[in-house]
Amino acid sequence: SSHQTTATSTHQAESIPHSVIGVTLVLGFVFMLLIDQCASKHSSTKYTVLNIFNSNFKNLISDSLEAADENPPRHSSKITATIGLIVHAAADGVALGASATTSHTDVEMIVFLAIMLHKAPAAFGLVTFLMHEGLERNRLRKHLIAFSLSAPVSAFITYFGISQSAHETLSMYNATGVAMLFSAGTFLYVATVHVLPEITQHQQLKFSELITLILGALLPSLLTFIKNLMYIIGLKTAFNICFLGIEITRLKSRQRKLKK
């Protein structure tokens, strides 16, 4: 039975299109981009969730007193940072809950370790950023609690909110891997968006710039889908033409026999 289970899981893994990997990563990237842009819409500062990972914490801490005197409290930037990390942690929780629905303990352990290894640096970065922003300790604890609870809460909701039939469906479509890829896409936005100066230097992208960026990110996946669709349509058309040619040949042969 174990051999059959391994063969079934291997067949399921091979049946998943490779394009799903790229599409899921891009969707996670675009989702975090939209969250960051929407959350910083009314912000009057350049600080967003990117600062948690891309800023020099040593300079932030050393200049914290001067920054507190020069700049007024920036509530929007605090909310932006917290929301960004909560969304990322929630995606991790969904991946953890989906992995718990499978019968593969090795997958559960790998997902758990992968999530736990980067939770401590993320929590440290969030607390450091909020302290630099001058947030009160009581409110800082609330932000940290919200971030800490987002992953386990979403994991429990995913695990207990899925029926038994849905468990089999999720296992068939490798939902654990898809959820982890989406979470990786959200982290990829934070890790690589520093190459886009327009995002780090300004508070918010223009609507036209945002749409252009999203379309540019989704265009390769769309072209791949169209290519595969045209390939399938071409195969069906060629098959229909061949079938039609065979039928015409048969009809002509019958007509010749009837004439004779």
pLDDT band at 163 (very low <50, low <70, confident <90, very high): low
Q: Give the position of tokens 């999530």.
A: 115
Query: What is the reported pTM?
Result: 0.58
Contacts of residue 104, defined as CB under 8 A and 6 or more positions apart, other chains included, come to 9
Structure tokens at 89: 């942690």
Distance separating alpha carbons of residues 98 and 104, to the nearest angstrom = 11
Distance separating alpha carbons of residues 181 and 99, to the nearest angstrom = 13
pLDDT band at 6 (very low <50, low <70, confident <90, very high): very low
Would you say residue 35 has pLDDT above 50? yes
Segment 82-104 mean pLDDT: 77
Would you say residue 137 has pLDDT above 50? yes
Segment 223-252 mean pLDDT: 76
